[in-house]
Every structure is written in structure tokens, then in C-alpha cells.
């Protein structure tokens, strides 16, 4: 009997996570896939370019929810997705990451009685002031299949009382996408467009409400970033929220030592990060990408849900107000930065492992998908 999986994506970091999962599931016989884009991100440069570059199929449904408050956005996804679930009647819903679309899809699917699989389960910052932490907690609580990127994810879920047989340590799907595209990321184009030489510049991304919504906090951060901007070019592809706040708060002049550019597509951004001297960010995923690329990463946050990037990778927390940035940057410039290693199962095959787990969950043939998958107790399943 055939089965149908429905995938839900909505915001920029979701697209690179779903691509390897959908690609791997194409090999499962008797499995149909439906892709829903909630439209949480909708600009060409925040969404559409990723579909093209990552070879994602056109979404079967586009809910077009757009921006709004958390309740408006989450509610709009729930209303739209409830109708889609009634029409498609999937056997399983796959959600990725920790954005509002992820949370909304988990709630509405669980209430419709459709099992949910969460890719990137188990990550915890233990900081409930972050909307993403609430999204992670609720999504994991409602998911039947929990696919973790790192061992800390397994431990967090076990500590919360999740049954070990529901936890599958599969590795990091976002790294599948990175490794698949790294060799054809257009470095020479990017280098000439921004007039930069390898390792002689920094890349900056900043978009967390906690960092950019408060004018005083944002001004302090800009001053600390500007100290780096006087030492080397800082290329700053600005998220729309950040660009808007710079104008609203009258802070454009404070950013004059930063080279602000439009948001970049996946391949250009990958080329830029891969050749950077260091990366300054408050993003979640970029902490992981820099760890695999071996580029020093300074994270402008007080905590991270991705501790493996600090313990094993190239990531250093410099505080949400960037107070530790100067010292951390000086250490790297003096050759004392972290070198790090690639965490376990961040090997480019996580999508296959996810597909194997999902095929078995649905009672389908998973031959050819098997890569070593370790369960929560470390026992291959």
C-alpha cells in the first residue's frame, strides 16, 4: 500500500534542511511526497532563490501567510495547514527546525491525528525568552519521531522523559546540503564582487529580535562590530528586519564601518563564509556551518542550543551584547583561535538516515537507505 509524507517549510533555514530529506525519500518505493510552503518568508531573496538553488520542487501548496505577530503568523499557518491536511490526508507530517511554521504545523497535525516527525529535534538553549526555544519544546513534545543532529539532543529528550525508541540520532541534514554544494559555490565571482581576498575579511549576520529591536542594545553591538570593521572588511548581508530597524532607530551612521549588502542566495553566502577569516553571527545554523568549514565563529548570544559547536567546533559565544568580541577576535588574529573538528554523523548522509527511519516508521522498504543510525542508547537500530 502506498503512503504519503507531507513536508512543511516556511522560513529561510528550513529550505536547506528539507532538501536532502526529500531527495533521499525519492528512493523509497510506494511513497508520495507533498511540499507545503507556509510563506513565512516570502521575498525573492529570503525564499524563492533557495528553492531554485537547492533543487527543491515547486511547493504543492503555498499558504502565503507572510509576516505578523507570533500569534498571527502561527495562527495563519494552522488555519491554512488544517485545510491542506484534510485534502491530502498524509500518513506522516515532516517538520524541520524551530521557526513559527514548525510549531504551527506540529500542533495542527497532532490535533488532526497525523503523526509528526521532527528533523533537528532535541536542541535546547534553556532560554525561554527565545521564541525558538518555545517552538522546539512544543514541537518535540508533539512529535512521534524525533530525529536528532547531535548526542546532546538525545540526552535532552531522554531527560524530558521521551521513550528511547522514538529518538533517532541521524546527524545534521543541513550539513548534507552544505557538503553537496560547497565545491560549486561561486567564490571567484563573490571575491571580485565584494573585492575581498580569502581570510582577509569577516562575514556578519544579525537578526535576532533580542539584538536588533532595542535601539540601545543594537547601538552598542554596532559599535563593537565597528571595531572589527576598522581592522578588516565586514560583509553584512542584512536580514529585512535588521535593515528596517537600522532605519527606524536612526543607526545607519553607526554601521558605516560595516559593508551592508542585500540578503544573499545560498551559494553566494556559502562561498563567502567558506573563505572568510571569521564569521560574526546570532544565527543558529551558521554556528554549525562554520564548524564544518573550519572558520572561526563568534556568536552574539549568551547561550546556544548547539553546544557541540563550542565543545567540538569553531564557535565561541561572545555575549548577546558582543562584550567578548574584541578579546575573541584578537585571539584569532594572533593565531590562537579554535580549530575544531567535525561532529559525529555530520557527514553528508543524514538525509538518507532520516529517510530510512521514516520509511521504517511507515512500514515501507528502506533498502539502500541504510547508513549507520544510532538510537538514543547508542545502539544501532
Q: Residue 207, interface with ligand UD1 (CB under 6 A)?
A: yes
C-alpha cell at 77: 499557518
Strands 167-169 and 374-375: antiparallel
By CB under 6 A, tell whether 132 contacts ligand UD1: yes
Q: Which residue among 48, 217, 241, 323 contacts ligand UD1 (CB under 6 A)?
A: 241
- H or E, element range at 330: helix 325-333
Using CB under 6 A, which of 4, 27, 32, 42 touches ligand UD1? 42
Q: Which sign, positive or negative, has the C-alpha torsion 85, 88, 91, 92?
A: negative
Q: 207 an active-site residue?
A: yes
CA 300 to chain centre: 16
Q: How far apart are CA 313 and CA 274, in angstroms?
A: 15
Of residues 151 and 241, the one with the C-beta less far from ligand UD1: 241
Q: Which residues are CB-neighbours of 248 under 8 A, at least 6 positions away?
A: none
CB of 347 to ligand UD1, least distance (A): 24
Please name every residue paired with 196 in a beta bridge, in sequence order, or none if there are none: none
Catalytic residue among 37, 207, 239, 349: 207
User: Residues 5 to 24: which contact ligand UD1 by CB under 6 A?
Assistant: 11-13
Identity of the residue, 46 or 138, whose beta carbon is nearer to ligand UD1 in the bound complex: 46
- Output DSSP code: residue 96: E
User: How many residues contact ligand UD1, by CB under 6 A?
Assistant: 20
**Residue 210 beta carbon to ligand UD1: minimum distance, rounded to whole angstroms:** 11
- What residues pair up with 96 in beta bridges, in sequence order? 119
Q: In angstroms, what is the minimal distance from the CB of 195 to ligand UD1? A: 27
Minimum CB distance to ligand UD1, residue 300 (Å) = 13
> Given the complex with ligand UD1, which of 27 and 134 has the nearer CB atom?
134
Give the binding range for ligand UD1 (CB under 6 A) out of 37-45, 51-59, 216-224, 303-311: 37-45
Residue 350 parent element (H or E): helix 350-361
Which residues in 52-71 contact ligand UD1 (CB under 6 A)? 67
Cell of 334: 594572533
Choosing from 33, 38, 100, 150, the residue that interacts with ligand UD1 (CB under 6 A) is 100
**Residue 42 Cβ, how far from ligand UD1 at the closest point, in Å?**
4
Q: Based on the shown chain and the rule CB under 6 A, indicate whether residue 3 belongs to the binding site for ligand UD1.
A: no
Cβ proximity to ligand UD1: between 33 and 40 the closer is 40
Q: How many CB atoms lie within 10 A of CB 308?
A: 22
In 3D, which of 165, 144, 98 has the Cα closest to residue 305? Answer: 98
Q: Is the dihedral of CA 321, 322, 326, 327 positive or negative?
A: positive
Any contact of residue 373 with ligand UD1 (CB under 6 A)?
A: no
Rank residues 89 and 248 by Cβ distance to ligand UD1 and give the closer one: 248
Nearest to 316 by CA among 331, 230, 218, 234: 331
Region of 39-47, 83-91, 191-199, 314-322 interacting with ligand UD1 (CB under 6 A): 39-47
Q: Pull the grid cell for residue 84.
A: 491542506
Q: Is 154 in the site for ligand UD1 (CB under 6 A)?
A: no
Which one of 99, 234, 246, 297 is in contact with ligand UD1 (CB under 6 A)?
99
- Cα–Cα distance list, 379 to 101, 219, 325, 346, 353 (Å): 33, 50, 41, 18, 15
- Determine which residue in the list 27, 32, 46, 194 makes contact with ligand UD1, applying CB under 6 A: 46
Cα 128 to Cα 130: distance, rounded to the nearest angstrom? 5
Task: Give the Cβ contact number of residue 257 at 10 Å.
Answer: 17
Q: Which of 115, 240, 319, 324 binds ligand UD1 (CB under 6 A)?
A: 240
Give catalytic residue positions.
207
Residue ranges that bind ligand UD1, judged by CB under 6 A: 11-13, 40-43, 46-47, 67, 73, 99-100, 131-132, 207, 239-241, 244
Amino acid at each position: 500500500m502506498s503512503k504519503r509524507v507531507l513536508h512543511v517549510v516556511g522560513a529561510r533555514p528550513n529550505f536547506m534542511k528539507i532538501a536532502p530529506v526529500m531527495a533521499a525519500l525519492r528512493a523509497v518505493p510506494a511513497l508520495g511526497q507533498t511540499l507545503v510552503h507556509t510563506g513565512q518568508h516570502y521575498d525573492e531573496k529570503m525564499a524563492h532563490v533557495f528553492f531554485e538553488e537547492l533543487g527543491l520542487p515547486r511547493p504543492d501548496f503555498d499558504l502565503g501567510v507572510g509576516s505578523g505577530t507570533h500569534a498571527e503568523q502561527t495562527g495563519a499557518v494552522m488555519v491554512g495547514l488544517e485545510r491542506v491536511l484534510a485534502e491530502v490526508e498524509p500518513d506522516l507530517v515532516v517538520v524541520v527546525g524551530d521557526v513559527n511554521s514548525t510549531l504551527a504545523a506540529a500542533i495542527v497535525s497532532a490535533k488532526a491525528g497525523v503523526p509528526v516527525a521532527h528533523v533537528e529535534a532535541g536542541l535546547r538553549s534553556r532560554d525561554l525568552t527565545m521564541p525558538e526555544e518555545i517552538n522546539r519544546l512544543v514541537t518535540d513534545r508533539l512529535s512521534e519521531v524525533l530525529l536528532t543532529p547531535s548526542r546532546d539532543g538525545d540526552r535532552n529528550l531522554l531527560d524530558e522523559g521521551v521513550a528511547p525508541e522514538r529518538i533517532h540520532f541521524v546527524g545534521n541534514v543541513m550539513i548534507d546540503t552544505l557538503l553537496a554544494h560547497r565545491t560549486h559555490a561561486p567564490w571567484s565571482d563573490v571575491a571580485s564582487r565584494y573585492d575581498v581576498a580569502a581570510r582577509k575579511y569577516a562575514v556578519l549576520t544579525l537578526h535576532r529580535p533580542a539584538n536588533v529591536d532595542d535601539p540601545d542594545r543594537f547601538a552598542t553591538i554596532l559599535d563593537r562590530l565597528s571595531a572589527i570593521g576598522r581592522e578588516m572588511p565586514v560583509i553584512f548581508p542584512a536580514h529585512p528586519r535588521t535593515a528596517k530597524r537600522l532605519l527606524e532607530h536612526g543607526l545607519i551612521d553607526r554601521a558605516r564601518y560595516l559593508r551592508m549588502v542585500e540578503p544573499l542566495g545560498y551559494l553566494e553566502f556559502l562561498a563567502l563564509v567558506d573563505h572568510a577569516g571569521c564569521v560574526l553571527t546570532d544565527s543558529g545554523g551558521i554556528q554549525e556551518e562554520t564548524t564544518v568549514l573550519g572558520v572561526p565563529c563568534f556568536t552574539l548570544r549568551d547561550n546556544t542550543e548547539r553546544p557541540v559547536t563550542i565543545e567540538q567546533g569553531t564557535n565561541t559565544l561572545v555575549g548577546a551584547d558582543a562584550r567578548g568580541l574584541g578579546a575573541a577576535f584578537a585571539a584569532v588574529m594572533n593565531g590562537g583561535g579554535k580549530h575544531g573538528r567535525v561532529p559525529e554523523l555530520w557527514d553528508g548522509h543524514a538525509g538518507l538516515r532520516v529517510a530510512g527511519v521514516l520509511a521504517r516508521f511507515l512500514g515501507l522498504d528502506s533498502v539502500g537507505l541504510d547508513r549507520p543510525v544510532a538510537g538514543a542508547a547508542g545502539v544501532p537500530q
